[in-house]
């Protein structure tokens, strides 16, 4: 990749679909839900329910590129009763509640009695992935409902829990109750052992969960076993994500956001200020408050991310996009230079070159854009963007 996107967001990469588009694609049934259930029961088929929202970009892309693909459409039309509902309108509202749809797109597979058999969240990039999802739904040993039944029976092997938690995560279903049950049965130092830490590191994501509070309170014990960098990275990630979710909530207020930060500070977490710096930068960028973003980055970037080449490059890039002010561009240039010194990559040389050009240093800009191009070729990465940039820089 040329560079990472700084703003925290759930990103689903879009790509061209495989194969040729079928004229009609998946044939979605427009009948009421009760009639669709009756059809499924009569034909002894599962219902494939595309649970979408009208504003969801990945949903639109998936409908235009994947649901029109020959391979996908042929398989789904032959195998399932297909339905598509906007989860924020009409019957979709009740279906959203009934099937606990929390993210879009959600692909649901439901039997004629209305029981959820399988589900998958997200827009996959390849046509074969949708065939695989459908086949998983048809497999009584691999569908999500089989995992749930096995867990609820209590009859499963010791290594089953991570598999089950991953299945729930892929379906965007809550895992907190499963985690609480597992750790409630842990004895002695078992809660600190490698297996427990692996589960915590992969699946504990809610900053308000009792288990996460336990990790924060006992972080010194985890640090002894798994290093400060590893443990603090986990804690910081959960806190940052919690703050960013809060900042994007429809009921967001500055006071509630700052209260949440104060709650974090009260834990005594050593890297709280670094967490707040990152979340504040993202908040200002998300809200288009460029002046606040620029000043905060200028004041505190060196303090918190002096040795993080990705973050140095990301913020340098964001700054040059936001302003022509020499004060900030000079600072951004220093971050890009430091990023290169830490790890010489095509993308940070490109950032450095573009900032030099904005500062009027054309020769230096061309020099470093050539370096970016050479590195990209050497690493067998796509070099077209650097070639195009270099051509523009060399124009009179």
For residue 21, the model assigns a pLDDT of 36
Which phi and psi angles does 251 have, rounded to 5°? -100, 20
Query: Cis ω on the peptide bond leading into residue 39 (within 30° of 0)?
Result: no
What is the C-alpha to C-alpha distance for residues 349 and 316, in angstroms, rounded to an integer?
A: 11
Query: Low-confidence residues of the chain, pLDDT below 50?
Result: 1-22
What is the C-alpha to C-alpha distance for residues 302 and 241, in angstroms, rounded to an integer?
A: 22
Q: What residue has token string 């993308």?
A: 347
What is the C-alpha to C-alpha distance for residues 332 and 208, in angstroms, rounded to an integer?
A: 36
What is the C-alpha to C-alpha distance for residues 280 and 293, in angstroms, rounded to an integer?
A: 8
| C-alpha pair distances (Å), 199 with each of 160, 202, 203, 283, 303 | 12, 5, 6, 30, 32
Q: For every residue of 60-107, which 3-state class applies, written as one string?
A: HHHHHHCCCEHHHHHHHHHHCEEEEEECCCCHHHHHHHHCCCCCCCEE
User: Contact at 8 Å (CB) between 22 and 74?
Assistant: yes
User: Contact at 8 Å (CB) between 353 and 389?
Assistant: yes
What is the C-alpha to C-alpha distance for residues 348 and 336, in angstroms, rounded to an integer?
A: 6
What is the C-alpha to C-alpha distance for residues 28 and 186, in angstroms, rounded to an integer?
A: 48
Q: Is 136 helix (H, G, I), strand (E, B) or coil?
A: helix
What is the C-alpha to C-alpha distance for residues 288 and 181, in angstroms, rounded to an integer?
A: 43
Q: What is the dihedral of CA 9, 13, 14, 15, to 10 degrees?
A: 170
Confirm whether pTM is higher than 0.85: no
Burial of 144: CB neighbours in 10 Å, binned 0-12, 13-18, 19+: buried
Give the number of other Cβ atoms within 10 Å of residue 294's Cβ.
22
In angstroms, what is the C-alpha Rg of the chain?
Answer: 25
Q: For every residue of 203-233, which 3-state class applies, written as one string?
A: HCCCCCCHHHHHHHHCHHHHHHHHCHHHHHH
């Amino acid at each position: 990749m040329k560079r990472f996107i700084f703003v925290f967001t759930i990103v689903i990469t879009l790509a061209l679909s495989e194969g040729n588009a079928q004229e009609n694609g998946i044939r979605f049934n427009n009948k009421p839900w009760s009639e669709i259930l009756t059809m499924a029961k009569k034909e002894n088929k599962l219902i494939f329910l595309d649970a979408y929202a009208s504003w969801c970009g990945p949903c639109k892309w998936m409908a235009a590129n994947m649901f029109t693909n020959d391979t996908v459409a042929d398989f789904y039309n032959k195998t399932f009763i297909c339905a598509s509902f906007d989860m924020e309108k009409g019957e979709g509202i009740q279906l959203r509640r009934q099937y606990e749809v929390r993210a879009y797109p959600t692909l649901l597979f439901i039997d004629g009695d209305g029981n959820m058999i399988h589900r998958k969240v997200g827009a996959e990039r390849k046509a074969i992935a949708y065939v695989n999802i459908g086949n998983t739904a048809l497999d009584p040993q691999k569908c999500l409902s089989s995992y749930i039944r096995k867990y609820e029976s209590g009859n499963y092997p010791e290594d089953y829990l991570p598999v089950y938690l991953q299945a729930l995560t892929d379906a965007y279903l809550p895992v907190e109750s499963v985690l609480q049950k597992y750790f409630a049965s842990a004895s002695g130092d078992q809660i600190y052992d490698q297996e427990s830490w692996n589960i915590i590191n992969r699946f504990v994501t809610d900053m308000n969960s009792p288990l996460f509070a336990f990790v924060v309170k006992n972080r010194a014990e985890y640090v002894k076993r798994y290093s400060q960098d590893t443990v603090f990275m986990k804690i910081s990630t959960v806190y940052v994500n919690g703050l960013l979710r809060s900042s994007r909530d429809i009921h967001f207020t500055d006071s509630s956001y700052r209260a949440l930060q104060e709650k974090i500070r009260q834990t005594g977490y050593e890297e709280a200020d670094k967490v707040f710096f990152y979340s504040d930068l993202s908040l200002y960028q998300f809200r288009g408050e460029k002046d606040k973003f620029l000043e905060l980055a200028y004041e505190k970037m060196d303090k918190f991310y002096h040795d993080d080449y990705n973050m140095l490059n990301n913020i340098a890039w964001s700054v040059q996009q936001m302003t022509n002010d020499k004060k900030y561009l000079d600072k951004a240039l220093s971050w890009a230079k430091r990023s290169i010194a830490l790890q010489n990559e095509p993308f940070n040389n490109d950032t450095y070159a573009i900032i030099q050009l904005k500062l009027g240093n054309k020769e230096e800009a061309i020099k470093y854009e050539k370096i970016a191009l050479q590195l990209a070729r050497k690493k067998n990465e796509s070099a077209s963007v650097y070639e195009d940039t270099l051509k523009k820089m060399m124009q009179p």
